[in-house]
Amino acid sequence: MARFKGQAEYSVDAKGRVAIPAKMRSALNPDAQGTFTLTKGFEKCIYAYPQDQWKIKEDEFSSLNLNNRNARHLVRMILMWAEEVSLDGQGRISLPKSLSDYAGIGEKALIIGAMDRIEIWDQAAFEDYLNEQTIDQESLAEQVMGS
């Protein structure tokens, strides 16, 4: 499994393209064939799953009980925003308008590696997100990971 980490601030050009950092590209599983599935993040950002990881997600969805109304809704919401994109010769992807609007992405994007996915944030939106977090990292670590 590809494990992404690190951050980078890259510019979004007039055509809506962003480069994926070389370090993350090299962490990609060859199976992913330079293809990502983009979708809405839970926070105000875009999630980019490499193709091989997305397959696993899809399997999870199909294993849900779709007789349950909430499950149906969740899957619908996730899939309706999902879009497949590929790296161009320069290692960039182009962001679909609907998603970049949702994340409020302007001229500068923040690319963050987060384990099995890459997150794409607008720089200012990410700062807002940080300011919203009231709990400090030390207490959080204690709470989430145990003592």
Tell me which of 4, 40, 41, 92 binds DNA, using CB under 7 A: 92
Binding site for a second copy (CB under 8 A): 3-7, 23, 37, 42-43, 58, 60-62, 64, 66, 68-77, 79-84, 98, 112-116, 119, 133, 135, 137-138, 140-141, 143-145
Q: Per rule CB under 7 A, is residue 104 in the interface with DNA?
A: no
**Residues 6 or more apart in contact with residue 145 via CB below 8 angstroms:** none
Cα(115)–Cα(103) distance, integer angstroms: 20
Residue selected from 3, 6, 7, 22 as contacting DNA according to rule CB under 7 A: 22
What residues contact 40, with CB distance under 8 A and at least 6 apart?
46, 47, 77, 78, 81, 99, 102
Residue 92 touches which member of a second copy, DNA, none, C-beta under 5-8 Å by kind: DNA
Closest CA relative to residue 6, chosen from 89, 106, 99, 111: 111
For DNA, the closer CB: 13 or 31: 13
To DNA, the closest distance from the beta carbon of 56 in angstroms equals 24
- b/e 124-140 (16+ beta carbons within 10 angstroms → b): ebbeeeeeeeeeeeeee
- Residues forming the site for DNA (CB under 7 A): 8, 10-11, 13-15, 18-22, 25-26, 86, 88-92, 94, 97
